[in-house]
Chain A
Amino acid sequence: MKFNRNLKSFLILLAVLIVFYAAGPQFYSNGAFFETLAVFMILSLSFNLIYGFTGYLPFGYAAFFAIGAYGFGIGIIRNFGLVQSILMGGLFSLALGLIFSPMLKLRGAYFAIANLAAFEGVYYIISNQSLASITRGPYGISTSSVYNFQQTYWVSIGVLIFVVILTYLFRISNFGLALKAIRDDPLVASLSGINVGLYRSIAWLTSALFAGFSGAMFGWFLSFFYPESVFSINYSLFAIVFTIFGGAGTLIGPILGTGFLYTIYYSVGLFYPLYFTLIFGVLVILLILFLPEGLKKIISKYLKWEML
């Protein structure tokens, strides 16, 4: 019964997303808005796989996003082909996730700080002059040879649908149940037969992989980017704030959160370009103060519906 209700919500969500992204640009002809919205939805959903399902809060999460863009860019400038380059974006990020995985032994603030430091480290390496033959260092990477907005757009929507399905599986599977148990009490989970380290690593690596894909989509869309264009803590903040605002650990939360807050962010940027960081910052603080559990809480309280 519950399973069927979840399945129904899931199918409705998929339909809504597809209609939204197919029809949206007809009503508001700003392709860049819809494309970046899709990119940040992928990023938030990927972030949710680690934060929402395990409780780890990686402040340097944008490193996965950035390395995804770079994996893609390096593939393109070496003429590896479009599909191969997109996969490279994901794989670079996956590899970074593997390198970072010993960090999972740290908890709470230590993890967050170590992750932030690691972000700086990766940024330093990528932007370094001496690696310019591979990364183009501070000069930036051009992917304009494969620029094709319609193609980027639909591949992004495809990746988004894929992460949505994946998150749904996390939500309803025994694997997801185990992650929830680990989040509640890792020791008891382990004493109940759950391989805590393995399960956390799987969530971590899946999260990294898809953050990498979102970065690859972003790099493809930008068609030229500097290290600073993708290595920005702002992208960590986006993922964190959008996810928490919508409801961490759910499927619909990060989508709603991104849709709502990114739209505001984008409009503020259009209308008040001078103050937009300030206005957006204040807004975020207010939301976190008065709505710490996000829309998930409001919906369950007033609509009596446990968000999928």
Chain B
Amino acid sequence: MAVKTLTIDDRLVSAREEETVLDAAREAGIHIPTLCYLEGVSEVGACRLCLVEVAGSSKLQPACVTKVAEGMEIQTNTDRLQNYRRIIVEMLFAEGNHVCSVCVANGNCELQDLAIEMGMDHVRLEYQFPDRQVDLSHDRFGMDHNRCVLCTRCVRVCDELEGVHTWDMAGRGSQSHVITDLNQPWGTSQTCTSCGKCVEACPTGAIFHQGSSVGEMVHDRARIEFIATARQKQQW
């Protein structure tokens, strides 16, 4: 197992060659913000919140999908990065309809946490107020597209862990949205096993347990990671 040595925020860090910059940073206790990344499923590099600066390259690299290399010099929290991250979070808020005060995930939301972390006291962009649907057809779960940030975490847990691939992305550009089966009401899905993994995986209040009221939707991410790795770690 080859080991690579690199510096992250001027600290010498060593990592296994198959690890990503994000893995290496986390092991060293260095925080890099993420949103589409979810421990236990594959990475897609979709949200760009984890962008870092790599010395010798003008291009920013997403830490969650960038493999470590010998001698790499990484900066994770420069002014430029902080500025970009705040803009990304503002764009996410402006693109959907995120009203924290009435949201089931208020206080337990990764998007909200990011906004706080970036010091986003207001959104400088124009709100889009898209016309989006709410699907309450499933017996146990609900889906509010207004709160979806299109991270595809639900798509990946359902495909990679549960193995039924109920969710996917449809449309393109500003019309992109997640769907169940043939864009049909979730409750009529032929593939969903009602396992609840997507509910735990969703970073916002988009997917929730039916009957949860404001702030009641607490996600259990550790559960996803446990399901993904328990067998290989022989934790059963």
Pairing of A with B:
no
